[in-house]
Structure 1
């Protein structure tokens, strides 16, 4: 294995990692960005809320960002590779990198973790066939395009009622499907009903529609609902196995704990984007976090105290 030295190793090539790489490159930092190229939003056809890029496909946003990074000779982007492990050294950190197996060791003075979250959808028949086309998880991203239509909200998490109240801002025709779970208690159901939001507790037997466009939901008790789209409330976790030698502090949900500046409990290790937040954020928010943490890394490198 060879050993190449960098100022900053960025793990993850989503909006947070790409934004950080751009800003670090402009600060004359030698940067290596390693991206497995398996984004959480791979099923999403278009993304929204990113200023000047509203409606752009997520893969196109990544392509444009990588194209911009190619103009910075000190920024290296490796796609379809992953980091298998990171350990601390006297001079910083060493990481094993490769495709299927580790075949190279790289050294970096600092590490920025921007790998995002893994998404786990409810176990509903054929849900994947509609996800990203007519069923979505980001209300802020996609509710405007579904406004004033009969919508579904499918989920099994404790925050399902709160999510229903949020979606009701865009439609008065919302039905919540708990898929046989106890995600919504009796008091919450009464509150939702008072706001005109229906609740169906029976398990879902079938999602109906064609080519990703959902038209209806059939429950196991035989009840059927016609809908024009909707939202799914997934569960998320962070894949942190490659950090076992560093063991930065995490919260009860498994997200990395960071201070206001994006520093983890391990000096020299930073985090930005969804991996350091209570749940997925809009692309623009994650990109902003990457830019903010990049500035902190530069300030720390030259010994300037900052609390961005």
Structure 2
């Protein structure tokens, strides 16, 4: 990397090998032995973050990935739509990505760690760490930062919903609609876009019941349209889900009635997971997602975002990985002072 720095900050060149060796002095389980510096700090070890780290390493940048080890999709048994990896466990996908990163000495992954705060300094950014890495290396300096923290999700308040989530109840229609095609399906949610999600689901099944769990989120016009297309709308509150060993068999309502189904979809609410950026005050949209240009640049020079952190809702893993790769390519050009079009 050159001495130009991102946006003319004037940061000195960080040697990838020396930075990696300083980090490598830590334990192999992901702790660091001393305060370290790197060209890039990647916050988040999902597909977007790991893809960014891989492509940055191949561009000879030194990279530190900070990962809590608590991915949003940890309950998902199989992910779909990732070319050459259709049906793979998201956890296995992350493991394979980590193995590939081992070939690059300039990459260090700090496990079971988190970034508590990021501030600017004369050379770029300073991150305060918590968790396992903080005991030996509580502060990390980086010329640039890629935020790939994804989202936090809150499920509807339905007893034992998590007993089925990721096994026979899913949140991503595009990811898992194929497995439930032409079967009786329940769509559970309490958000204003529930009718739109129901319309999307009719692509896969004609036996669909929308369950609002007592919430007034589908107006009479939408309900009439759904019913006319063969979609049932059930407004009663849900007492619990029925089934065994993660396989959903029915939805039981508070009055004791049950709806027989073979699986379901749920509409969570999602929340941005980047409180640690508060000192930088990047631009966010009405829902708290980071605002970026099409290349992943945020409103703060040297700060980039990829994956769900910069999207209105969860994306397929392959899309998040692609965004991580693109942000990496643009970041490298910016470090060299080669500005690409927004």
> Shorter-chain TM-score category?
over 0.9
Q: 1:44, 1:307 → 2: CA distance?
A: 37
- The residue that corresponds to 2:18 in the other structure is none
Q: 1:241, 1:2 → 2: CA distance?
A: 25
Q: 1:239, 1:278 → 2: CA distance?
A: 13
Stretches of structure 1 lacking an aligned partner (at least 5 in a row): none
Deviation, 1:20, is: 0.3
Residues 226-278 of structure 1: per-residue CA shift (max 9 Å, x gap):
00001000000012221121111111101011111111111110000001001
Aligned partners of 1:260 and 1:307 also within 8 Å: no
Match of 2:111 among 55, 79, 93: 79
Aligned partners of 1:113 and 1:272 also within 8 Å: yes
What is the RMSD of the two structures over their aligned residues, measured on CA atoms?
A: 1.2
Q: 1:135, 1:12 → 2: CA distance?
A: 26
- Which secondary structure state, in structure 2, belongs to the residue aligned with residue 275 of structure 1? helix
Question: Pairwise mapping of residues 48-67 of structure 1 onto structure 2 (< 5 A)?
Answer: 48-67=80-99
Scaled by the length of structure 2, what TM-score is found? 0.88
Residues 156-211 of structure 1: per-residue CA shift (max 9 Å, x gap):
01110000000011000000000000111111100000110000000001210001
Q: Size of the alignment, in residue pairs?
A: 308
Deviation, 1:100, is: 6.2
Question: Pairwise mapping of residues 97-112 of structure 1 onto structure 2 (< 5 A)?
Answer: 97-99=129-131, 102-103=134-135, 104-112=138-146
- The residue that corresponds to 2:181 in the other structure is 147
Q: 1:47, 1:262 → 2: CA distance?
A: 24
Match of 1:123 among 148, 157, 175: 157
- Which secondary structure state, in structure 1, belongs to the residue aligned with residue 279 of structure 2? coil
Q: 1:170, 1:114 → 2: CA distance?
A: 31
Aligned partners of 1:205 and 1:219 also within 8 Å: yes
Stretches of structure 2 lacking an aligned partner (at least 5 in a row): 1-32
Pick closer, same or farther for the CA change 1:235–1:22 going to 2, 3 Å: same
- The residue that corresponds to 1:261 in the other structure is 295
Question: Pairwise mapping of residues 26-41 of structure 1 onto structure 2 (< 5 A)?
Answer: 26-41=58-73
Answer yes or no: is 1:236 the counterpart of 2:270: yes
Match of 1:92 among 96, 121, 124: 124
Answer yes or no: is 1:289 the counterpart of 2:323: yes
Q: 1:222, 1:185 → 2: CA distance?
A: 25
Give 4+ residue runs of structure 1 displaced > 3 Å after superposition.
100-103
Scaled by the length of structure 1, what TM-score is found? 0.98
Q: 1:92, 1:85 → 2: CA distance?
A: 14
- The residue that corresponds to 2:309 in the other structure is 275
Deviation, 1:305, is: 1.4
